[in-house]
Amino acid sequence: MARTTPMCSSQYPFLFNACRIPRKTRDELKSFPGGKHIVVARSNKFYTFDVYRPDGTPFSPAEIEV
């Protein structure tokens, strides 16, 4: 259906620096502006690391991949 109907972009603010908090009636979406790290999940294991150097400049995609 997404290929024939325009997709809603209302969830874009929650694409990065955000999480879903489980609640009894419905989940809560919470965003955290200014995040400086990422979390990667692979094979049921979670890895977190900074994506900015101490001087505030971001690592390149190639450096993050390593």
- Give the ranges where the chain is alpha helix by DSSP (H): 61-65
In a domain, 3, yes or no: no
pLDDT, tens digit, 9 for 90 and up, residues 19-65: 889 999 999 988 887 778 888 889 999 999 888 899 989 999 899 88
- 7 within some domain: no
Q: Residue 1: pLDDT above 70?
A: no
Tell me: pLDDT of 2 over 60.
Answer: no
Is residue 20, in this structure, part of any structural domain at all?
yes
For the chain, the domain total comes to 1
Examine residue 51 and state whether it is found in any structural domain, yes or no.
yes
Q: Does 30 reside within a domain?
A: yes
**CA–CA separation, 63 vs 66, rounded Å?**
5
pLDDT of residue 24: 95
Q: Is residue 59 part of a domain?
A: yes
Domain of 58, in residue numbers:
12-65
Residues 37/46, Cβ–Cβ less than 8 Å: no
With contact defined as beta carbons under 8 Å apart, do 28 and 13 qualify? Answer: no
Does some domain include residue 41?
Answer: yes
